[in-house]
Copies of this chain bind each other. A is one copy, B any other.
Amino acid sequence: MKGIRQLADHLDISIGTVSRALNGKPDVNEETRRRVFEAAEKFGYVANQAGRSLRKGATGIIGFMMQTGHDITGQGDTFFMSVFDGVQTVLARHKLDLVALLCSSEEDPDAYLKRVVARSFADGIILSATRYRDGRFGTLHKTGIPFISLGRSQNDAGQPWYDLDFEGMADTAIERLVAQGHRRIAIGRPEGDINLGYVFEDRCRAALAQHGLTLDPAHVFRSRPNESGGYRLAQNFIAAPTKPTAMVLLNEATVIGFYRGLEEAGLMPGRDVAVIGQYSPMAQFLSPRLTCFRPALRDLGVAVAESLLATMPAFAEAYPEAPRQCLWPMNFIEGESG
């Protein structure tokens, strides 16, 4: 069964009628429609997406671009699963499907974007793993595909983005630690050119300055955004010159290894070292319980999807007032660690 042509020949009707029958158009005899569906089922015929989307000028697909690679596990955790869940509930309302565009960490994201995503592969695109300077914004802008980014870039020219409110997290975390009497506060950020690292560090420094404190450059620790990275980070932390008494961690996964690293050195989070991090499903199973910030990720997915659809002519009217840019709140959860 090659295509609609063969199906039509077999039924001895025209391809136009077959197409109309399959697509639920009104002007087709119900008996004919039944026969068409029956034959389609029998031969396992499904419409060729290429032909269809070529003609319709739309694919019904939204792409979510994300990074893969053996060193990228932290963000690959449940974070995206939750966001996907929210995105999909919105897309389902419009019969749109979500696919994840998997860009290897060894490849240039911009080149990848140009290659696979190409015009009309997806009707809209959600970006993630935003870099400090990210060429993808320019590329997408040129091609005219509707898009939105999960995470800001540095060169913000009014493109749509949603991002977790790491500024708010930095402010309250620092505020809290200072109120607890801490003076030498360290922070951990993911290594690499990820934009949120810069955002977070800058804001922590500013927040400390509010209290007349400084952020010692030696107390800014970079690590891989996963458990092992956190473990090594703990070792560096312990070996730091003027010993910090508190740590604020950006990544969800690093905190696991960090806990373990402290334990092995006989240090207990919350007693010997204050630790504040980002929520993950793991957080509630740590002992002592992690003081952390938790964004409502599923709702974030919903909001992002709605904001994206708002920029697409075909769906815009359903979302008249979706904000183009938004800092997504992180809810504070008091634990025992800091």
Chain A, 46-90, CB within 8 A of any chain B CB? 46-54, 59-61, 63-64, 68-70, 72-73, 76-78, 80-82, 84-85, 88-89
Given contacts A68-B84, A70-B298, A285-B231, contact A50 B54 (CB under 8 A): yes
**Distance of A328 Cα from B41 Cα, bound (Å):** 35
Given contacts A114-B46, A121-B49, A282-B227, contact A99 B98 (CB under 8 A): no
Given contacts A44-B142, A49-B118, contact A281 B226 (CB under 8 A): yes
Rounded to whole Å, the gap between the CB of A238 and the closest CB of chain B is: 16
Rounded to whole Å, the gap between the CB of A4 and the closest CB of chain B is: 11
Stretch from A13-21, A240-248, A255-263 at the B interface: A255-263
A92 at the B interface (CB under 8 A): yes
- Please determine whether A285 and B298 come into contact, CB atoms closer than 8 angstroms: no
Given contacts A88-B104, A100-B102, A227-B282, contact A119 B298 (CB under 8 A): no
State the number of copies, please: 2
A315 at the B interface (CB under 8 A): no
**Distance of A76 Cα from B59 Cα, bound (Å):** 26
Closest Cβ neighbor of A116 among chain B residues: B97
Chain B residues within 8 Å of A78, by CB: 73, 76-77, 226
A120 at the B interface (CB under 8 A): yes
**Distance of A142 Cα from B40 Cα, bound (Å):** 11
- Please determine whether B100 and A100 come into contact, CB atoms closer than 8 angstroms: yes
A115 at the B interface (CB under 8 A): yes
**Distance of A108 Cα from B227 Cα, bound (Å):** 35
**Distance of A214 Cα from B103 Cα, bound (Å):** 48
Q: List the 3 shortest-distance A-B pairs measured between CB atoms, nearest first.
A: A44-B142, A100-B100, A50-B54
24 A-B pairs in the complex with CB atoms less than 8 angstroms apart: A43-B142, A47-B118, A47-B119, A48-B118, A48-B120, A50-B120, A51-B54, A60-B116, A61-B116, A68-B88, A70-B298, A73-B78, A73-B81, A73-B281, A76-B78, A76-B80, A89-B104, A92-B104, A97-B102, A97-B115, A97-B116, A98-B102, A100-B102, A263-B287
